[in-house]
Structure 1
Amino acid sequence: MTLHPLVILSGNAHPQLAKEISQQLNTKLGSVETHVVINESVRDVDLYIIQPTCNPCVNDYLMELLVMVDGAKRASAHRITAVISFFGYARQSKKDKSRSPITCKLVANMIEMSGITRVITLDLHSSQIQGFFNIPVENVCSDQLFVKYIRKRIKPLDQGDMVIVSPGVGGVKRGKIIADKIETDLAIIHKASIASSDSETILVGDVQGKIAIIIDDIADTCSTLNSAAVTLMRRGAKKIYALVTHGVFSNNAIDIINECAISELIITDSIPNTHNQEKCPKLKIISIASMMAETIRRTHHGESLQNERMMMTSSCG
């Protein structure tokens, strides 16, 4: 098999992540002007464009990605892979109201029709989104990153029994994977509707006197994290951490985190958040650069991604 040269390009969504990934791959980050003029030769190369579709300009970043792909196609790139560390439309993946769109499917169609031949992403909100595409989608999981952080940063500081907490029934599988790997119990928080405008919070599992670690994929308004923290404190949790893959932080989410009972909120840098870290001392950021770089390397060389040791190479800084 002929191995085509590897080129990394970045849009304006997250240039720092692209720079770190390029450094991990010992590859120079390609030059692109902001009005999308590719300043590198991409003829007959395997091109990887790093561009999360995230705040503050979700639609702009998506359009920039598509325009970059069109430019690369017209410059005769051999294969184009979109590295979308945060897939910003993942929550709109089903028709839950009359006449409502399935925006996630629409965006998948746009990505596919643009000429992208593969997508690499991180912790899709729903795994079935992979089925929206007719091209390969590598959904990299952050569970090994979180396991490593818990073992290296939480266990040595906080001695005592731990419990992994899923703040909703939809995240039980995610929480169970991590609980099994660190050999601890799993608790589940469920909001059951008891009236048209009220709900009752049900906690399944024992958190009394334990260090509770909430696991989730997206921190948006942070109301779910705050509600979970309130429930855990009422049930006697000793201390609360939260590990969340994507820090979206819309509206007054940072204020909510600052005021709630969570001691630390650990997120990845799938979305730029250094500006929020300055406002929230509880916020810790884990780099995904090594993990995504290794995924790119293995994809480029046609190697299997089903190797947990690959995910353990990532930094917990």
Structure 2
Amino acid sequence: MYDNLTLMSGRAHPQLTTEIAEYLGIVPASLEISNFPDGEISLQLMQNIRGCDVFLLQPTGPGVNDNLMELLIMIDACKRASAARITAVIPYFGYARQDRKDSGRVPITAKLVSNLITKAGADRVLTMDLHAAQIQGFFDVPVDHLYAAPILDGYVKSLRIPEDELVIVSPDEGSIKSSLMHLDNLGGTLAIVDKRRTNALETKQANLIGDSLEGKTALIFDDLISTAGSIVGAAKIARDHGATRVYLGASHAVFCGEAYNRLREADVTEIIVTNSLPLKEDHLLKNLRTISVAPLLGEAIRRIHSNESVSYLFD
């Protein structure tokens, strides 16, 4: 169906690659990946990709260093195998938190990783819900930046929450723009949690700014849930201000550190995330709802391969 389209996956999230391949009606390319005794990654492509339009799927989530290095090695292997074009499909882009120098003597890791991916030989990058949108400008190759908001909002609409009972709660001031995107799609009103970061691991939620939550349903969206400290703190603020139900939503379920324990103990109705990252089956929460982004990424891959507009997917 697709001339020379080749989809392959590293070890970070093969299940998502399988779902995308099913959407496209193709079979993922075969490759062998293993580790030498000292931990170095060994990789070999098991089919000819000369002249092919190659899409490499590899989210760089936990463990980020191994997944990133594996992506770079895959790109290098495809480049040396004479692929016509290489697109790095990175549903979750790791090392994105340090996107600027906010104090002295610190790195800008988002720019460093962008350079590594470009220098390794990627001709294009397809990603989703970057921690900071300006990271697109760190690349010297085209970047297609997708948003999971329409998918998450589609599920929320199926819950049929009355618009006059709905309040979109931004977990901090930095998430106001994305919260407004959800507000446009779902209606309701807006409230903002006043969050102060005490250090790299801890945050403190102080006040609520905006519409009253008394007797309302609160929807708290963030781009990612890492240790869950921020979003669970925002949920507590919402409950303290009278919300009868609280839903949490995030594009990326990083879920590290105390995340599972905090979410399990949180007084929330449901946690809605995408499968941009694999979830630990033995830790799954009863109130966790996972929405697949395979159709979104698959359609983007189809459009890129066919030289069609991708902006249709995130306008």
Q: TM-score, normalised by structure 2?
A: 0.91
Q: 1:166 aligns with which of 162, 165, 170?
A: 170
Runs of at least 5 residues in structure 2 that lack an aligned partner in the other structure: 34-41, 198-202
Q: 1:89 to 1:99 in 2, by over 3 A?
A: same
Q: Indicate which of 175, 179, 185 corresponds to 1:181.
A: 185
> Which segment drifts farther, 201-210 or 109-118?
201-210
Q: How does 1:132-147 map to 2 (within 5 A)?
A: 132-147=138-153
CA spacing shift, 1:149–1:102, aligned 2, 3 Å: same
Q: Secondary structure at the match of 1:190?
A: strand
Q: How far apart are residue 274 of structure 1 and its match? A: 4.3
CA distance in 2, matches of 1:159, 1:173: 20
Structure 1 residue aligned with 2:252: 246
1:155 equivalenced with 2:154 (yes/no) = no
Q: What is the aligned partner in structure 2 of residue 40 from structure 1? A: 47
Q: What's the offset of the Cα at 1:90?
A: 0.8
Is the aligned partner of 1:293 residue 2:292? no
Q: CA deviation at 1:200?
A: 3.2
Cα distance in 2 for residues equivalent to 1:251 and 1:16: 23
Aligned to 1:315: none
Q: CA deviation at 1:58?
A: 1.0
CA distance in 1, matches of 2:124, 2:311: 17
Q: C-alpha root-mean-square deviation of aligned residues, in Å? A: 2.1
Question: Secondary structure in 1 aligned to 2:311?
Answer: coil
- Alignment partners' CA distance in 2, 1:200 and 1:186: 17
The match for 1:84 among 90, 108, 116 is 90
State the secondary structure of the residue aligned to 1:77: coil
Letter in 2 for 1:88: G
d(CA) in 1 for partners of 2:27 and 2:264? 39
C-alpha displacement of 1:133: 0.5
Post-superposition, which runs of at least 4 consecutive aligned residues in structure 1 deviate over 6 A? none
2:287 — aligned with what?
282
CA contact (8 A) 1:192 1:201 kept: no
Any idea what the Cα deviations from partners look like across 1:282-305, whole Å, max 9, x if unmatched?
Answer: 211110001100000011111112
Does residue 25 of structure 1 match 2:32?
Answer: no
Q: Give, in angstroms, the shift of residue 142 of structure 1.
A: 0.8
- SS class of match (1:206): coil
CA separation in 2, counterparts of 1:235 and 1:213?
A: 14
Matching of residue 208 in structure 1 with residue 214 in structure 2: yes
Asked if structure 2 preserves the Cα contact closer than 8 Å seen for 1:211 and 1:237, the reply is yes
Residue 103 of structure 1 is aligned with which of 91, 99, 109?
109
- Report deviation, 1:97: 2.4
| Residue 248 of structure 1: how far off its partner (Å) | 0.8
Identity of aligned residues (%): 39
The verdict on how the C-alpha distance between 1:136 and 1:198 changes in structure 2, with shifts beyond 3 A counting, is closer
Count of residue pairs brought into register by the alignment: 302
Q: Deviations over 1:245-301 (max 9, x none)?
A: 10111111101011111111111000001426x441121111000110000001111
- Does the Cα contact within 8 Å between 1:191 and 1:202 map onto a contact in 2? no
Q: Give the Å deviation of 1:4.
A: 5.2
Match of 1:190 in 2: 194
Structure 1 runs not aligned, ≥5 long: 312-317
**Which residue identity does 1:172 align to in structure 2?**
I
**Residue 216 of structure 1: CA displacement?**
0.5
Summarize deviations over 1:187-240 as a string: whole Å, max 9, x none.
Answer: 1111369xxx98732332221111101011010111111111111111110100
Instruction: State the AA in 1 paired with 2:237.
Output: T
Conservation of the 8 A alpha-carbon contact between 1:4 and 1:44: no
Following superposition, the deviation at residue 185 of structure 1 comes to 1.0
Q: Secondary structure at the match of 1:214?
A: strand
Q: Is it true that 1:226 corresponds to 2:232 in the alignment?
A: yes
Instruction: Tell me, in whole angstroms, the C-alpha distance in 1 between the residues paired with 2:142 and 2:51.
Output: 20
